[in-house]
């Protein structure tokens, strides 16, 4: 059986892009690790309220930067790279003349990833993406691997922009939120004018008041449930919540944004965009177009959200409905900027560090979940719901440092990350060479270390 990718065959741009996505996604996932919130990646309903006190402007700056450069875009980048990886995996097997049929190895690869995702999502952290990626890879990607770059780009873009928008709308119950929001606006206008409410409107106003008064109690209850009791006691509820989320992602159509991004990634890999084969001026043009679309959407949305006191209706209208559009264009802009930076000598040490993380993205992803769950829930620290919003970033920066150091040290000795090695060995059904041959590490690999 042919062995998997040797280091000399790796594509550096895919590695540092994957490393960037791995780090960036923690800036978003930390909100799920650190405590409950009422809105997706908008710090409302926290145990320690954001946007109040001396750090109000700092909180606003953090959430703005997250939405400008990270929110949705890291998931989009991960999905694009997964799609590119499908084409790369199949191409290399065909080129080498693998003993087993490509379809068999691909199926085995996805099935093992599905198992890893089930274990991670059900037993460690419910925000897992591995299971849905494996399912998408099994069902949707393999049949399209031989399509032309143009067809993949057009198909992926359409599914991402149109299907993703409809999926987000369904996932957040946009129709229900708009209807209820319009009704509540009318009720408040009637009250402000001194008008008379009918019985139904009185009931809705009371429900809104009761919901606001009970929000703090619900938050406290969620914190107590997360931090009391044993791991085994919490496991059934945790696993059930994970499977409900996965089901909702597929049945609502939200998975369309993932499928679209994966197909687009397959096309952009074939077109040379993800492999840094385009000219710098073309990447600069993509970055300019991407940010000129995504940034105004985000900045206007944040402004409206703040003006409306972070209401759910405002979040639906201005942040979630244009979500897939700003996600797609922002993701492409981020990729372009990273590739441009990689061509500057000043950023080579950073790119080398990111590439090391990217080569071990699977291991670093699981490691991040284990460390964060330990810090916030499993250990005696029990910081779940105890930090201010801006303090979440302390944990993010610490975890980033761990990722950088762990990856650099590990890859001095080993060919692959620990979980990458397990996954590869299971895929090829043969133990892969883990240890490097005894040669001195290249200087550029460790250039960013002191």
- What would the mean pLDDT of 260-270 be, rounded to a whole number? 98
pLDDT for 132 equals 96
Per residue in 406-427, pLDDT tens? 999 999 999 999 999 999 999 9
Burial class (CB in 10 A: 0-12, 13-18, 19+), 205: middle
User: Does residue 209 surpass a pLDDT of 90?
Assistant: no
User: What would the DSSP string read from start to end of 29-67?
Assistant: HHHHHH---SBTTB--S-SS-SS-GGGHHHHHHHHHHHH
Burial class (CB in 10 A: 0-12, 13-18, 19+), 142: middle
Domain that holds residue 30: 7-446
pLDDT for 121 equals 98
- What would the mean pLDDT of 228-246 be, rounded to a whole number? 93
Integer Cα distance of 74 and 17 in angstroms = 10
CA distances from 356 to 28, 181, 383, 421, 437 (A): 21, 47, 30, 15, 18
Q: How confident is the model at residue 174 (pLDDT cuts 50, 70, 90)?
A: confident
* Residue at 1 is within a domain: no
User: Does residue 2 surpass a pLDDT of 80?
Assistant: no
Domain count, the chain: 1
User: Does residue 447 surpass a pLDDT of 80?
Assistant: no
Q: How confident is the model at residue 386 (pLDDT cuts 50, 70, 90)?
A: very high
Q: How confident is the model at residue 197 (pLDDT cuts 50, 70, 90)?
A: confident
Backbone angles phi, psi at 39, to 5 degrees: -120, 145
User: What would the DSSP string read from start to end of 291-321?
Assistant: HHHHHHHHHHHHHHHHHTTS-HHHHIIIIIT
User: Does residue 8 surpass a pLDDT of 50?
Assistant: no
Short-list 367, 356, 368, CA closest to 412: 356
Q: How confident is the model at residue 125 (pLDDT cuts 50, 70, 90)?
A: very high
pLDDT for 99 equals 55
More confident: 449 or 326: 326
Backbone angles phi, psi at 414, to 5 degrees: -115, 155
Per residue in 276-324, pLDDT tens? 999 999 999 999 999 999 999 999 999 999 998 888 888 889 999 999 9
* Residue at 302 is within a domain: yes
Q: How confident is the model at residue 208 (pLDDT cuts 50, 70, 90)?
A: confident
Query: pTM score > 0.95 for this model?
Result: no
- Look at the alpha carbons of 424, 428, 431, 432 in this order and tell me if their dihedral is positive or negative: negative
User: Does residue 236 surpass a pLDDT of 60?
Assistant: yes
Per residue in 337-378, pLDDT tens? 999 999 999 999 999 999 999 999 999 999 999 999 999 999
Number of H helices, E strands in the chain: 18, 0
* Residue at 267 is within a domain: yes
* Residue at 2 is within a domain: no
Per residue in 327-340, pLDDT tens? 999 999 999 999 99
């Amino acid at each position: 059986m042919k062995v998997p990718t040797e280091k000399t065959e790796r594509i550096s741009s895919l590695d540092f892009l994957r490393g960037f996505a791995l780090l960036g996604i923690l800036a978003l996932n930390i909100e799920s690790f650190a405590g409950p919130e009422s809105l997706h990646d908008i710090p409302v309903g926290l145990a320690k309220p954001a946007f109040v006190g001396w750090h109000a402007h700092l909180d606003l700056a953090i959430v703005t930067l997250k939405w400008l450069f990270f929110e949705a875009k890291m998931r989009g980048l991960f999905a694009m790279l997964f799609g590119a990886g499908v084409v790369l995996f199949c191409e290399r097997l065909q080129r080498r003349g693998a003993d087993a049929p490509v379809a068999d190895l691909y199926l085995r690869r996805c099935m093992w990833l599905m198992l890893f995702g089930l274990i991670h999502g059900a037993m460690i952290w419910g925000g897992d993406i591995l299971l849905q990626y494996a399912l998408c890879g099994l069902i949707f990607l393999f049949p399209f691997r031989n399509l032309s770059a143009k067809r993949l780009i057009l198909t992926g873009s359409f599914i991402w922009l149109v299907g993703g928008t409809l999926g987000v709308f369904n996932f957040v119950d946009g129709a229900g939120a708009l209807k209820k929001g319009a009704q509540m606006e009318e009720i408040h206008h009637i009250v402000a004018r001194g008008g008379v409410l009918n019985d139904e409107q009185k009931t809705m106003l009371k429900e809104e008041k009761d919901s606001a008064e009970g929000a703090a109690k619900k938050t406290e209850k969620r914190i107590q449930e997360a931090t009391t009791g044993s791991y085994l006691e919490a496991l059934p509820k945790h696993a059930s919540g994970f499977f409900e989320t996965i089901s909702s992602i597929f049945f609502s159509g939200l998975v369309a944004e993932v499928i679209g991004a994966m197909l687009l990634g397959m096309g952009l890999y074939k077109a040379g965009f993800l492999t840094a084969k385009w000219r710098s001026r073309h990447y600069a043009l993509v970055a300019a177009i991407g940010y000129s679309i995504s940034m105004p959407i985000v900045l206007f949305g944040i402004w409206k959200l703040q003006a409306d006191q972070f209401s759910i209706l405002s979040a639906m209208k201005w942040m979630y409905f244009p979500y897939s559009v700003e996600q797609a264009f922002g993701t492409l802009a981020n990729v372009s900027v990273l590739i441009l930076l990689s061509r500057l000598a000043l950023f080579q040490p950073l790119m080398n560090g990111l590439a090391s993380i990217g080569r071990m993205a699977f291991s670093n992803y699981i490691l991040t979940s284990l460390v964060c769950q330990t810090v916030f829930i499993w250990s005696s620290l029990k910081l779940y719901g105890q930090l201010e919003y801006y303090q979440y970033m302390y944990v993010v920066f610490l975890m980033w440092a761990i990722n950088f150091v762990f990856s650099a040290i590990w890859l001095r000795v080993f060919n692959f990350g620990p979980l990458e090695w397990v996954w590869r060995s299971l895929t090829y059904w043969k133990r892969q060479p883990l240890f490097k041959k005894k040669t001195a590490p290249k200087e550029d690999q460790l250039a960013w270390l002191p």
